[in-house]
Structure formats: structure tokens, C-alpha cells
Structure 1
Amino acid sequence: MAATATTLRRRRPGALVAAALAATLGLVACSSGDSGEPDADGAAELECSTESVANEQWRAAEPVTFSMLWTDWPETPVTEQWQLFDEIERRTNVTLELTNIPFSDAVEKRSLLISAGDAPQIIPLIYTGDERQFAASGAVVPLSDYVDYMPNFSHYVEEWELGEMLDNLRQDDGRYYMTPGLQEVSVPVFSLIIRKDIFDEVGAPVPETWEDLQAGLELIKEQYPDSLPLADGFEGASMLNYASHAFGTVAGWGFGNGMWFDEDAGEFVYAPTTDGYRSMVEYFRGLAADGLLDTESFTEANDGMGTVTEKFANETVFAASGASGTVQEFATALDAAGVTDYELVQIAPPGGEAGQVVEPRNFWNGFMLTADAVEDPNFCDMLHFVDWLYYNPEAREMLQWGIEDETYTTADDGTISLMPDYTLGAYNLNPEGTIDIQTDLGFASNVLAGSTESRTLKESYNQPQFVEYIDTVLSTRTPRDPFPRAPLTEAELEQASLLGTPLQDSVDTATLEFILGRRDMSEWDSFLTEIESQGLSTYVDLVNGARERAADQD
């Protein structure tokens, strides 16, 4: 698989082992099992040389090496010199051996590695749903069998009341095969960023609904006739995702398998066949027709944010999709363009006919373990390690900020500040620093940081305006209820893929054509007939059959 991934081996001398930490940890057996083989219930008992306790530092009794898949972002390519890996080893006695894949086609290469049996043991950046195909084929570990060895994970699932959501990850055999990053507060990562000063200038309030937004955009268009004031920059996938919930449907990045649970009917329906999906399409079609939507931003590739940022700087776009870091990106561009006295605000996703509803976001990216990990003689240590790495609060702070009193300090009130020599350019923190903790040291990485976060940690590196965004979402928006489980068997997954993939391709194409005005809305029924001819009924029946089966199990 040389053409697919490269491997970076990391070895560190024994001098880096912190004996003082080891002295504080008792070396005790955490179970009395034999070889780690599954028992009659499917779970496995392990013999562990170290004990893992929630919210305490864990450390392997002897040096161990585990392999991990690492996705390289173009702007932050991993280096062997990153202090992140030294600090992980210093604290845990674990050396990480990395297999590197590029961000540009990470999902495809990850799948190839796992399917070929060449993947490393630890697979990060797994979002809920990513694990289904690998779980069905037995390529990954059923982590639910081993949660007794993951006390940090169990602690925060209980403390943050995420047990019901976790149960929804169970596959057809009743197990779950990934553990997600856990978020204490549920707020959408991507939403709408507006030039509030421009909205104020034209007399438009901060929009609470999509109708409010349209009214504001119309006023802006009158004042700035050459503008196309609303943009996305992610082929529409971001905006349609956070907009869809207000219309009572799913779309864009959140389309998933395309299913929407109809509470009244008590069954799944295909989202594009719902009235809510059509209403959403008609809304954005109207914006495009009135010159309020930058349609180019609905056709650009996901790396097209540069163009939207330039339009923000040129003051031809005044509202666009983005996350907290995008606010800083827009601000930097406006500063460089000489624009002064602007105010950028990330607002709560506007509401609509389905209410002030947002997508539940208490889960973020987590990890899987490949099936051969259980053959590792240090598998128990591996479970303790990933539990510490992903869910221990001190580990999470280290992954984000680095080393206390070296790269950052913590004030009496809990405020975290970078030391004078250090900066975090991605969030414009301490810009006068000369050492970037992300690009130079590996902390605040896209692979590991941000996965599991308390509200305090999330707020620690974001600007005050993002704290206001969190407060606004929590006080004015309601997360949509999770859908019922509908896990498919391996054979059903294959059938669902054969049906669902071409269906989604047709939906994506038609959605864009309708929004951009290339297809008249009078053809909507013809569109529904087209997807029905692609086996839609069979697909819907397949998912509802799985839902009924899961309900019987529950």
C-alpha cells in the first residue's frame, strides 16, 4: 500500500520515561480473565498490568508502541519533531507509529487500508455512521464489549447524559463499533456568519428565521446592488445542512442515508420526498432568482472558501457559512483589505416552519480499532490509552494547549493564556508569538484536538463572540430528537449502498438544478417519479425493516 499511505516511525529513548508518574500508579490486574477471548456473551476479559481510573493519569507499566492512522492537512503536515508525540509518550509510556494519508482523499484511502487489512490499529476522525460498513464486515472491534476498560468514556457519557444517543450507535448485533468524541454542549459547528454592522446599517435585525434573513438580504441588495449578499462556499452542503432542520428535513452534509423519521407515521421516509425538503429548495431557489444568493458558492468545491473570503473582503458578500475559525478568517481578510469598523457575528441557525430546531451535536469525531488490535498482547493497555487520549480532561487540555507553564498558563479563574513566545494562528491567539503550537508543535491538531470537550475547554480557545453564540443556541434553539435505530446487516448494507448511492447522486443533482433555476419547479413530481424508478420503495422498506427489527430488540 505504498501508494496509499506512508508510515512514520517514532522512537524515543528511555530517558523520556517519567518515573515519578509511574511511582504514583499501582500496578494491579483489572480483571482475572485468561487470553482475552470473548465469553459467551461476546465480551472479553483481559489481564491488565495497569489500572485505569476516570479523571486520573494512566501510564503503561512498560514502554509500548501502537499504530495510528494520521490525516495530514495541507497547512499542518505532521513532522517527527512535533512535541505533541513526545508529551504523549512522556505521560503514558506509549509511542505512536503513524501511517500518514493526505486530507484530499483521506476517506477513500482509509477505506482501502481497512478493507485490505493494512490499516494501523487506531483509526481517528471517525464520525457516527462511518463505522457501519466496517462493523458489518468484522473489520473493526466492537468497542461496546470493552467499555469496562474505558472509565473516562463511561464517566462522561453518564455525566453529560449521552447514554440514549450512544445506544443509537448500536449495530444489528446490538454492539457499537466506534466511540465518538463527546461534547458537553450541543451547538452546530457550522452556521451563518453575518456582517452585523451592515445588517444594522440597512435596518435589518439579526435574523431569527430564514424569512428574517431574506428580508435582511433584500435590504442589503437595495443598498449594495452589485452584491450577492449570501454565500456558502461548500457546494451548498454546509448551508443546506444547518438550514434543513428548520424545514423539517435533512440535506447537505447531514443527508446521511437520506432518511427522515416521520413521527406521525412512525416510520422512515426519504427526505427529498417530504414537503419540508421541497419548501427548503423553493426558499433557496427564490433567493437565487432574486440575486440574493451567490450561486457560484453552491457549485465550488469544498476548498472554495478562499473565494468566499475574498468576496467578504471585497464587500460583495455579507453573510456566509462558517465555523468559529471562519470568523477569524473573514476578519483577517477584511483587515488586509483596509475595511474598518466591521462586526462579524456567528448567529444561531435561523428557524423556520419546523421551529427553532438545530441538529443534535453532542457527538463529534471519535475512533475505531481495527480487528487485529485484539491480537496485540498489549490490547488492554491500548484500550486504557485511547480512553485517556480521547476522554481524560487533562489529556484533552494538553492536546489543545500543550504543556502547562511551558506553552500556556492557567489563571485562578480558569482562564488559559499562551506564554509570550507561543501563538495559535488558526484562532489569532497571541499573534506576536513566534512558535505556533499547532503547526510547529502539533498541539491543537485537526486529528486529535476538539474531539471531546467540556464547555469550558471549548470556550478557552475561542473568541468571546463564540461564547455568545453558544449561549444563544442553548437558550433559543432546541436540538432535534435523534432518529430511532435502523442498523443494517452486512448483506443489507451492500444492498443499501447499491440503491442509496445512485439515489443520492440523483437528489444532489436535482436539488442544485432546482435551486439554480436550471430546472423548473413544475418538474418536481417528475423528479420524484425518477427517484422512485431507481428503487426508492425497496430502499425505504429496507431501512424500515431494520428499524422494526431494532425496535423488537430494544
Structure 2
Amino acid sequence: MARAGNLAGRRTRKARAAGALTLVGALALAACGGGGGEDTAAGDGEGAELECSAESVADEQWKAAEPREFSLLWTDWADFPIKDSWEFFDEIEERTNVKLNLTNIPFSDATEKRSLLISAGDAPQIIPLVYTGEERQFAASGAVVPLSDYADYMPNFQKYVDEWDLRDMVDDLRQEDGKYYMTPGLQEVSVPTFTLIIRKDVFDEVGAPAPETWEDLQEGMELIKAKYPESTPLADGFEGQSMINYAAHAFGTVGGWGFGDGAWWDKDANEFVYAATTDGYKDMVTYFAGLNEAGLLDSESFTAADDGGGTVTEKFAEEKVFAASGGSWTVQEFATALDAAGVTDYELVQIAPPAGPAGDFVEPRNFWNGFMLTKDAVNDPNFCDLLHFTDWLYYNPEARELIQWGVEGEHYTKDAEGKYTLEPDFTLANLNLNPSGTIDLKKDLGYANDVFAGSTESRALKESYNVPAFVEYIDSVQSTRTPRDPFPPHPLDETELEQASLLSTPLKDTVDTATLGFVLGQKDLSEWDAYVSGLEGQGLSSYMDLINGAAERAAGNDG
């Protein structure tokens, strides 16, 4: 049985769906004194006032001179409940002299719980699992630390931002005051996390090549439908949010999970426009509406989430779906389901997101989840150590390797070519690595956990736990697709954020409802102009005035 693609399953499909600067690359910290005294933290957010008792150096093991305790917000995944016996925390403490005191919140409502804790001033010091944009409300209210003030105390972060050429992207994180309030996970290579997984053997069977464009995909779906008339061959499984997200860039717009604040930079007009009113957005929904009308789109997958082995996976196994949204882990889920159904000689391939009318553009994905520090952290007498610790944990290569693989020589070995091999007793079952092992690194020991794993990754580390077909996916994206340029910064101040929130929420609700209606044929495309007029009636012009005013102000601040 031939299988192409990554056999890595990292979470349930629903959980994964939640789950998208000019800094000198100094190796040693400036402004750090010698001696063994306590650190002095500056309470006013000025990094220059810090006096650190020990330095931190990029790519070296950092360890606090005395035992420290820092608090951290931990998100509990139902599939991998945290255990007191997890070795992961003991190993972190042994290496750094830092004990983590956890505040636990469930994944099911993690974003809401996090916001309530931060707003009430009850949140722990370290807030992980923060994606770019989520920090804005907390930055505007002063609830989190301006980490840009303390960049000199994060040598690992500085080095890899510089080395991986992510400087301009970090600068785009700056808020209205010119500072950034979270540091993201850094990815050496930019590849979309979600894309299409296809049954390449079936595409070959009906004479359809692996789709390079969305037009190619439609042709392939038509040929497959003719061969398998009971099928609806294309599915999403994430309420349409995933497919619309990765498709949008090729149509010259943003949508789905990637909609963000809805602002799309119109280069010709030199201003932001609302993405969901553009010709590109209309072209995109028209395309998917056409697929649905022709019976090529599984409409159920656009209205319901596929929660781990759910409807899309089942339909894949039943050979009613032959192309669906997913990530590197999804191939394993589909392969397991096909095996269980007795399907043989299949070939699953994770393909680069198809190109479209706007070109071969994909979303830039050099950032993944990072962290914030709550405002009271600066008053901790060991604030220097807190900065050093988080910098080591998130950006030091040995720390990243530890998080993913455990302890070298105990849990795994690595040969001269960089190939990782788990010791016989250990398994990473969700990655299908050494399935005969009896001790699961993730479930039993806490390594490869969903709070930290995958945040910052070199290409080598990303490839280390993936099969060769995923490397082929990386190569395909790198050689045939173009990451869309970041949009000009347009940070809002606190008052503007409040105004924008009041306007953007009902606007986005209207967009989501109308998009689904157009795609599923519940709303005729002849109503497009009326839909746009409805958005105007909800204050769209005022909303875009806020966005463009912020962009003009930011451009003026830049020079």
C-alpha cells in the first residue's frame, strides 16, 4: 500500500482548528552585571532600567542562579490530560532551576477564560498559545508587558528573528505606541499549516493530475464524480473556515480563519478595503457555489466541524470524499480510517494550496503561537530570570528539541545525519512513531505537548518527526508558491479598538452568514450588491475609516 503525505496526527481535527524587526543578533545580553545578587525589575516598563545578576547567551543552556517559581496559564486538551507525574516539568526544572506553577483552563473555552483572567488581573505571569493579533486588546488596555522594551534580554529570539529574516514581520506586530506585546513562535520555513489532502491514486485513475490550480481541482472533481456518482468528492470539515482561508489568497482576498479584521490592502488605491466586499471575495464564493451546485462539494462539511474521526474522515474511508482540508497529521487520520475500512493500494498526498485568479499566493506562516507576559510580571524581583527563561523555552534550539523529543540518550538517539530514533520502550503514538513502544512521550511523560510543541521550529526540527512526503510538501510550497506580502501596519489605540470592536463583530457575523449562504445556494449571487449595501448600513465606512486612519498614522510614524 502506497502512502504519501505525513503520518503525523497531532490533535483531533476540532482541536487543531482552534488551534495559523531590526534587532541586533547579539549572542550575549547587554546591561547585565556580574555577581549573584537578586535581579531588580523596572516597574514602569523601561527595559533599560533592568539590572540582571546573570547573563543569557543564545544557543546556550540558561539556568537561574537560585531556584525560581513562575506562574503559567496551561490549556488542557481532553485527549491529553495533564498528569502530576509528567516528567516534562521535572526536566525543565532540572535544566533551568525554574518551577512552573500552573493555572489550568480547558481547551473548549480557553480564549474566553484567558480573557476573563487577564481582564480581572488574575492571570498568571506567562500566557502561552497566543497568536498574532490576539494581543491587541490586552496591549491597548495595558494588561500585558511591552516585550519590545526587553528585547535585549532575549538573545535566542533576536538571533533567530535575524537569522531567519523575520525582522519586518516582527516590526508589523508593533501597536499604536510603537511597541510589540507578544513574541511569536518562529518558523524557519513558511508553509501553510492547512491545505488539501487528496487521494492521488483516484486522481490518477480518472486521468486528473494533482491540481495546481482551483480550476484543475474542479476538473478533477468532475471526473471523480463521473466515476463515483454517489460521492461529493471535495470536503472541508472545519465549517468552511479552513478551505476558505487557504483558498482566499489565490483569489486575491482573505477569508475564513484568516479573515482577521477584514482589512485587505488595495495596492492600486493605496488604502485598505473590506475584504468581503471585493471582487476577489465574490469570485471565491462564486467558485465554491459552482462546486456545490454541481454536486462536487460536501455541504455538510461547510456547516459542521469534524471532531476527530468524524464525518469527513468517515466519508474518506467510505470513498465518498477524495479531497479534503487538513494538515500534516490528517494523512495519518485518513490512512487509519482507510485501513480500517479495508481499502488498499491508496496514495494520500498533501498538496500545495492551488493557485487561482490572483496568482500562486499563499498565506505567510513564519509565525506560530507565542507568549505574552502579564503586566504584574515586571514587579517580580526575578523578572530578568523570567525573561531569560521564556527566551530559552521558546527559542533555544536545545529547548525546542527537548520539548518535541524528550531527553537524548534516554528517550531517543540522533545519528550523524540528524535522524531521530525513539528508544524501543518509547512511542509517540499520535505521530505514528515507534507504535510498539509502551511509554508514550506525550500522554505519559508530557513531551510534545500542545502548549509548547511546534511553536518555534527550524526546518530540521519540523522534518525530524515527519515522513519524507511532508518534506516534499515543504519543497513544493517553497518552489511553486509565493507568500503574500504582509499588509502595512495599522494598529489602533484603545479608544479606536473599542469602536472597531463594536463595528467589526456584527460586520463579521453578516459576512459569515452571507458567505455560507452564497456557497450553499441558500442566497443567490444576484443578491451580492444588496449584501454589500447591508454591510454599509452596519457602519462599514466608519470601520474602514478607523483602519485607514491608523494606517496613515503608522506610515507617518515610520517617517
Note whether the superposition's TM-score is higher than 0.5.
yes
Q: List aligned pairs for 1:453-468, cutoff 5 A.
A: 453-468=457-472
> 1:45 Cα shift?
2.2
What is residue 496 of structure 1 aligned with on the other side? 500
Whole-angstrom CA distance in 2 between matches of 1:304 and 1:512: 23
Match of 1:100 in 2: 104
1:257 to 249, 255, 261: 261
Aligned to 1:12: none
Question: Which of 181, 184, 206 in structure 2 is aligned with 1:202?
Answer: 206
Q: Are positions 1:348 and 2:352 aligned together?
A: yes
Q: Does residue 271 of structure 2 align to residue 271 of structure 1?
A: no
The share of aligned pairs that are identical, in percent, is 72
Equivalent position SS for 1:324? coil
The match for 1:508 among 479, 499, 512 is 512
Relative contact order, higher structure (CA 8 A, sep 6+):
2
**CA distances 1:196-231 after superposition (whole Å, capped 9, x unpaired):** 000010010000000000000000000000001000
Q: CA contact under 8 A between 1:30 and 1:47: conserved in structure 2?
A: no
Do the aligned residues in 2 keep the contact of 1:32 with 1:46 (CA within 8 Å)? no
Given that 1:37 and 1:44 are in contact with CA atoms closer than 8 Å, whether structure 2 keeps it comes out as no
* C-alpha deviation, 1:346, in angstroms: 0.4
Report if aligned partners of 2:43, 2:379 keep a CA contact under 8 Å in 1: no
Match for residue 544 of structure 2 among 534, 540, 548: 540
Is the 2:52–2:384 contact (alpha carbons within 8 Å) kept by the matching residues of 1? yes
2:475 is matched with 471
Aligned equivalents of 1:49, 1:391: Cα separation in 2:
21
**In structure 2, how many angstroms separate the alpha carbons of the residues matched to 1:147 and 1:388?**
13
Equivalent pair of 1:152/1:392 in contact (CA under 8 Å): yes
Distance in 1 (CA, whole Å) between partners of 2:43 and 2:523 is: 58
Q: Deviations over 1:288-340 (max 9, x none)?
A: 00010000000003637621111111110000000001111111111111111
2-structure distance, mates of 1:531, 1:303: 33
Task: Provide, for residues 14-60 of structure 1, a one-character-per-residue CA deviation record: whole Å limited to 9, x for no partner.
Answer: xxxxxxxxxxxx99369999652448xx4342122221000000000
State yes or no: 1:36 paired with 2:42: yes
The amino acid across from 1:289 in the alignment is: E
SS across alignment from 1:522: helix
Letter in 1 for 2:42: G
The superposition leaves residues 491-536 of structure 1 with CA deviations (integer Å, 9 ceiling, x where unpaired) of 0000000000000000000000000000111101000010110000
- Asked whether the 8 Å contact 2:41–2:384 carries over to 1, the reply is no
Match of 2:93 in 1: 89
Match of 1:300 among 304, 318, 329: 304
CA distance in 2, matches of 1:305, 1:499: 37
1:423 maps to 427
Change (3 A) 1:252 1:29: farther
AA matched with 1:294: D
Q: CA RMSD in A?
A: 1.5
Contact 1:297 1:304 in 2 (8 A): no
1:360 paired residue among 364, 369, 379:
364
- Residue 248 of structure 1 is matched in structure 2 by 252
Matched, 1:142 2:157: no
Alignment of 1:51-66 (within 5 A): 51-66=55-70
What residue is the counterpart of 2:186 in the other structure? Answer: 182
Equivalent-residue separation in structure 1 for 2:485 and 2:510 (angstroms): 28
Number of residue pairs aligned between Structure 1 and Structure 2: 527
Q: Offset of 1:425 from its aligned partner?
A: 1.2
2:451 counterpart of 1:447: yes
Q: Secondary structure at the match of 2:212?
A: coil
Aligned counterparts of 2:65 and 2:231: Cα–Cα separation in 1: 63
Structure 1 pair 523–31 and aligned structure 2 pair: CA distance change class (3 A): farther
- Please say if residues 37 and 53 of structure 2, whose CA atoms lie closer than 8 Å, have aligned partners that are also in contact: no
CA distance in 2 between partners of 1:137 and 1:145 (Å): 17
What is the distance in 1 between the residues matched to 2:412 and 2:354?
A: 37
CA displacement 1:108-158 (0-9 Å, x = unmatched) = 000001001110100000000000000000000000000110000000000
What is the aligned counterpart of 1:212 among 213, 216, 224?
Answer: 216
Could you tell me whether the CA contact under 8 Å between 1:233 and 1:305 is conserved in 2? no
- Ranges in structure 2 where 5+ consecutive residues have no aligned partner: 1-31
Contact residue 38 and residue 45 of structure 1 kept, 8 A: no
In 2, the alpha carbon distance for the partners of 1:287 and 1:31 equals 67
Q: How much has 1:161 moved relative to structure 2?
A: 0.6
* TM-score normalised by L of structure 2: 0.93
Deviations 1:373-404 (A, max 9, x none): 11111110000000000000000000000010
Post-superposition CA distance 1:459-484 (Å, at most 9, x none)? 00011111100000000000000000
Match of 1:317 among 321, 338, 343: 321
In structure 2, the residue matched to 1:125 is: 129
User: Is 1:151 aligned to residue 167 of structure 2?
Assistant: no
